[in-house]
Amino acid sequence: MKYYSEMTIEELKEEEEALMISYEACQAKELRLNMARGKPSSVQLDISNDMLGAVTKRNGYHSEDGLDCRNYGGTFGIPEAQRTLASIMECNPEHVIVYGNSSLNLMFDLISYAYTHGLNGNTPWGKLPEVKFLCPVPGYDRHFAVTEHFGIKMINIPMDENGPDMDMVEQYVNNDPTVKGMWCVPKFENPEGICYSDEVIRRMAGLRRAADDFRIYYDNAYAVHYLYEDDQPKILNLIDACVEAGHPDIYFEFCSTSKITYAGGGISGMTASENNLSEVRNLMSVSTIGYDKVNMLRNARYLKEGAAIPEVMMKHAAILRPKFELVVNMLEEEIGPRGIGSWVSPKGGYFVSFHAMKGCAKEIVRLAKEAGVVLTPAGAPFPYGKDPDDSVIRIAPSLPPMGELKDAMEIFMICVKLASVRKLQEELA
């Protein structure tokens, strides 16, 4: 099979005509399929239904420290929940603050606090003429939405299979005091699915900050989200690396059980140095009387304070793995031989990141929508929704049943081919 780039303009026109017949047949089916967000399927949510019975009158409403979890108090979380999240972040439970069901909410609150009050006695960001954030791309659109909300200037940092370009990161962080933060999803990164290398994490820990209030916002969202029981990549522990580098205050690390138990009923939290935790505790002492401790107790008991997480995650993997393999296999069969895209075959996480030919992503998403398949908007994995190459499309296989996913991917393949054929004809004209 020829690469499309090797075809003559006449051959490309013939291919377009054949593809249009298939495309119009898809439109005639009037399908309504959705791969826009990385939501767990209902079958995955059913895995944790036993959690609903984990807190009852019979087994008690009290945490081990005697607190009635139905009442006020326990602002920073109950010990059982601290240990649960510590097992995910591989840290000291005493250095864990437990939040509500959304770690993104916690990240927003920290950025907001830095904007209004400043971190560790530094000038509030809202009083500075300019504040910048480093954004490894492609990345998580909701991270970028937070910093955009506060008018923070976001700077694209390209990534490869090892993580962000650390030469560029060091150049900014070591020399520019207006750079106050860096977003990170270090394991099965959203959407690329890569894991940061040990060297990258060590270099992050060793950053010589021009700004004392620079922090790495280390969103370890997929720390335990493996697809294979016998192939589970490990990454270097950032906490240990920061202590070893003599920079214990440089990070905030976040995690949650949102895609372990219930997406809308998990627990989230963070760990950091004692200096950073002290500041967060001061913030929380004003902003809340305490989060849902019944839910903390429910998650902690069901997950056996982390001991049951590997078993639960393999149940998720059994559902997700065939979906990811379907997506990757179809890309290999339909796109690879035509030379019109690239992708990473992830070993965990929730996404497959597809890199189309430059200038094709928006057109592929448009064509898919008109054929009944909703994808994440082109550009979403970049700050301000602007992909400089108009190339990256985030594929979210988790929500649809296998049959619907196959239908959606068949339409996606046609759209990728059609957009690519048209783009190549434009270049040859």
Comparing CA positions, the residue from 193, 180, 204, 252 lying closest to residue 228 is 193
Are the CB atoms for 339 and 3 separated by under 8 Å? yes
Crossing angle of helices 103-116 and 141-149, in 10° steps, is: 20
Cα dist from 178 to 115, 155, 158, 160, whole Å: 13, 12, 20, 25
Which CATH number describes the domain made up of 4-44+311-428?
Answer: 3.90.1150.10
Per CATH, the architecture of 61-306 is what? 3-Layer(aba) Sandwich (3.40)
Extract the tokens encoding 18. Answer: 């054949």
Are the CB atoms for 373 and 416 separated by under 8 Å? no
CA distance 415 to 4: 14
CA distance 20 to 359: 20
CA distance 378 to 118: 34
Give residue 1's pLDDT. 80
Are the CB atoms for 37 and 396 separated by under 8 Å? yes
> What one-character DSSP code corresponds to residue 154?
E
Give residue 429's pLDDT. 82
pLDDT tens for each residue of 221-233: 999 999 999 999 9
> Which burial class, exposed, middle or buried, applies to 50 when counting CB atoms under 10 A from its CB (0-12, 13-18, 19+)?
exposed
Extract the tokens encoding 212. Answer: 């004392």
Extract the tokens encoding 402. Answer: 């296998």
CA distance 317 to 225: 8
* Chain center to CA of 424: 33
pLDDT tens for each residue of 179-193: 999 999 999 999 999
CA distance 392 to 111: 27
CA distance 344 to 375: 18
Comparing CA positions, the residue from 176, 178, 166 lying closest to residue 132 is 178
* Chain center to CA of 102: 13
* Mean pLDDT, contiguous 10-residue spans, the chain (429 residues): 94 97 96 92 98 95 96 96 98 97 95 96 97 98 98 98 98 98 98 97 98 98 98 97 98 97 96 96 91 97 98 98 98 97 96 98 98 96 98 97 97 98 95
> What one-character DSSP code corresponds to residue 226?
B
Dihedral pair phi/psi, residue 246, rounded to 5°: 80, 20
Comparing CA positions, the residue from 159, 162, 250 lying closest to residue 200 is 162
Q: Which helix (H) or strand (E) covers residue 421, if one does?
A: helix 402-428
Extract the tokens encoding 33. Answer: 């399929």
CA distance 268 to 102: 6
CA distance 60 to 53: 11
Distance between start and end Cα atoms, the chain: 23
Cα Dmax for the chain: 78
Q: Give domain limits for the chain.
A: 4-44+311-428, 61-306
CA distance 429 to 421: 12
Are the CB atoms for 267 and 98 separated by under 8 Å? yes
Comparing CA positions, the residue from 415, 358, 295 lying closest to residue 26 is 415
Are the CB atoms for 163 and 206 separated by under 8 Å? no
Give residue 21's pLDDT. 98
CA distance 423 to 340: 11
